[in-house]
Structure 1
Amino acid sequence: MELDTAVDGEGTCRALAYPALVGRPEPGDTVLLNTTALAMGLGTGGYAMVVAVPDRLPPDPTGPGHLVKARYTPLQATVLGADEQDSPHHPALADADSLTGMPVIVADLHSALPPILAGLLAARPGTRVVYVMPDGGALPAWFSMSIAQLTAAGALAATVTVGQAFGGDLETVTVHTGLLAARHVLDAEAVILAQGPGNLGTGTRWGFSGVAAGEAVNAAAVLSGRPVASLRISEGDLRERHIGVSHHSLTAYGRVALAPADVVVPELTGEFGARVREQARPLGERHRLVSTPVTGLADTLQTAERDWGVRLSTMGRRLDRDLAYFLAAAAAGRHAAALLG
């Protein structure tokens, strides 16, 4: 829940509280805040976080479940894992070992979730799509407005949080069991796998949280899924390393992903389109490059934003400032729909 808080000597600030962890703050309560994100001027995550309501602590958890997430931190929480022995889903997952060819669309950034979904559902309405959220970005799925809006609109069937991430419709220990739970418990026809809000990057080849996209390709492949790699493409980013095909995609898919995937290359026009194709070309040594039309996808994205009430934005840039980014993600969804027939 979002709060307006007053900090002595510093004025007011926006704050977020997760009632399941800290209880439900009421007007007039004193709250303990973590203001690190505000002090750092973060765009994603630019809230103070409620650590506790000292005068009214939440009740002790009573279970069920013994998966501890955010382990060994003051806010560690116990949840019921779909893959643990006490779960009603344990029998379905105990020997599960295959995704039976299910498409798994992998992306670097959380902002790719809505456009991938838009491209997929425009081409194949009614497809049951599940989002699998690993722990490279935000840990609580509750932080994502996109998840809430897409689910409320009926576009997204469910969310599975894996690793240290939590708050999904199902919780699992690993990306592998997250994918299997999406398929065998939630009856997913396709999965979108991308980190939660917030991407950590250091400007180095290997120091970015999206490197896990390459590992996700491997996980999907080893479980007999069909990995579909969504390229991170930008025409509006001011950083040279992200213009055209981002170095994040080139590293994650070109170096980390050892299993072959369908790498979707959107058919963009002009010099920029030629640059994207040339940058993606080396990925064809390991993967299948799939040239995918983007005709009509700009209208699809605008319709999705209006009908689903979701805000399409990446790194603060909207559709009009970086259309290529959203077209690339939507093209990956369009290709996944084609695989489903």
Structure 2
Amino acid sequence: MMQWREGAVVETIREWPGAVEYAVRLASPDGTGSEVRALAYTGMVGRPEPGDRVILNASALLKGLGTGGLAFVVAIPDRLPDDAPESLGHIVKARYTPQQQMFLAVDEQDSIHHDVLLDAESLDGMPVVVCDLHSALPAVIAGVRLARPDARVAYVMTDGGALPIAFSRAVAGLAEAGWLAATLTVGQAFGGDHEAVSLHSGLLAARHVVGADVTVVAQGPGNVGTGTRWGYSGVAAAEALHATHVLGGTSIAALRVSGSDHRPRHRGISHHSTTAYGDALLSAAIVPVLAGGGELAALVRRQATELAARSRADLDVVEIGTEGVLDALRQSPVRLSTMGRGLEEDLAAFVLSAVAGVCAAQRVSER
């Protein structure tokens, strides 16, 4: 259920492309309402200014959620934004919600890329790294750049987490640093450099429109999990690997691993990875693990071998060396954080993601 609040903008806290975070004082009868953090997507509601009255969706804030635990500006009722420039696009995303928007998708008839995608059928072996968590993205790219600094990397954001790509400060920072050649938002996700109707056409556009050497597929920030075997948004990683296989790409299944998570189901290889790759996946994929290392690395190798043995898919467990990986991660232009833990707090989570990137880069050189 939606929980609405009204407030007044106090000040700007920070901003990045497509989003501005504000301090907003909630309305109250005596004028002493509490101050909260609120995010405005400028492409959707315009740009509030200090003093503006704003209508907020405060549901996640009041629930005390993590990634989405702030208020969102729904409207500036006293000052409507200007209409967006006229566009040929007619693909609606966030469909049949009050804030549905219309975009020019890369694969629709009015797109300049339509003819390219009309005939595109293959990824030409392009390595596609599929991740459960959005937080793996910068670590994967760090690994790609370690092994192949000149590689063009595209990010395909699916709609299992945040729908607006502008929510991700990591994507903004990676793009600004030149670590991303382009972003593509697929399904109901929106706001990338290119919009695509489906994951399949998004992958084809990454290859044939962007010219990517490596593509990373992951949901946006704010994954959903219930603690049950199948009730989590990351199970869609299997679907992304299926799409890659169907389109003739090289499927690389990045493992979700933790050495610090207090929940047993996420220690070592997370149950999210074992379910997605062991039960939901039906097509072949490469599963990168660490070569050498300590006790946790040995545990992950053993778990990955057991996963491959029981999976209905043909999983190829490949050991990847870690020389230079830690330095590469420390050079990330954005802060590394997963489930509230940084690089030094959960080293394994980022190193396993980075070796998936190394593995992908090695496959580029083999093509």
Name the TM-score, length of structure 2 as normaliser: 0.90
1:52 to 53, 70, 75: 75
In structure 1, how many angstroms separate the alpha carbons of the residues matched to 2:214 and 2:298? 30
Question: Does residue 4 of the first structure (1) align with residue 4 of the second (2)?
Answer: no
Residue 179 of structure 1 is matched in structure 2 by: 203
Q: What aligned pairs does 1:213-228 form with structure 2 within 5 A after superposition? A: 213-228=237-252
- SS for the counterpart of 2:129 is strand
Q: Shift in Å at residue 58 of structure 1?
A: 2.5
What's 1:303 paired with?
A: 331
- 1:292 paired to 2:320: yes
How do 1:321-340 and structure 2 match up within 5 A? 321-340=345-364
Is 1:22 the counterpart of 2:41? The answer is: no
* Structure 1 gap ranges (5+): none
Matched-pair contact (CA < 8 Å) for 2:288–2:355? yes
Q: Distance in 1 between matches of 2:216 and 2:292?
A: 23
Aligned equivalents of 2:52, 2:294: Cα separation in 1: 57
| Cα distance between partner residues in 2 of 1:283 and 1:102 | 25
For the 8 Å contact 2:226–2:232, the answer to whether it is kept is yes
How far apart, CA to CA, are the structure 2 residues paired with 1:282 and 1:57? 57
SS at 2:151's partner residue?
coil
Match of 2:341 in 1: 317
Matched, 1:195 2:219: yes
Residue identity matched to 1:32: I
1:242 partner letter: H
Question: What residue number does 1:142 align with?
Answer: 166
The structure with more strand, counted as a fraction of residues: 2
Secondary structure of 1:167 counterpart: coil
On the 8 A contact 1:283/1:289 being kept in 2, the answer is no
1:37 lines up with 2:37 in the alignment: no
Q: CA deviation at 1:3?
A: 1.3
Give per-residue Cα distances to partners, 1:36-91, cap 9 Å, x unaligned.
12112122122210001111222345322111000000110001100000111101
SS at match of 1:4: strand
Q: CA–CA distance in 2 between the matches of 1:27 and 1:89? A: 41
Distance in 2 (alpha carbons) for counterparts of 1:211 and 1:45: 20
Q: Aligned partners of 2:262 and 2:249: how far apart in 1?
A: 36
- Counterpart amino acid of residue 57 in structure 2: N
Cα distance in 2 for partners of 1:116, 1:269 equals 19
Q: What letter corresponds to residue 47 of structure 1 in structure 2?
A: L
Task: State the secondary structure of the residue aligned to 2:172.
Answer: helix
How far the C-alpha of 1:284 sits from its partner, in A, is 2.4
Say how many residue pairs are matched. 337
Which residue does 2:3 correspond to in 1? none
Instruction: Give how far 1:283 is off.
Output: 3.1
In the TM superposition, what is the alpha-carbon distance from 1:293 to its structure 2 partner?
A: 1.4
Q: Residues 162-184 of structure 1, C-alpha deviation per residue, up to 9 Å, x if partnerless? A: 00000000000110000001111
Alpha-carbon deviation of 1:268?
A: 5.4
**1: distance between equivalents of 2:335 and 2:70?**
18
Q: Partner letter of residue 13 of structure 1?
A: V
2:88 counterpart residue number: 64
Residue 210 of structure 2 aligns to a residue whose secondary structure is coil
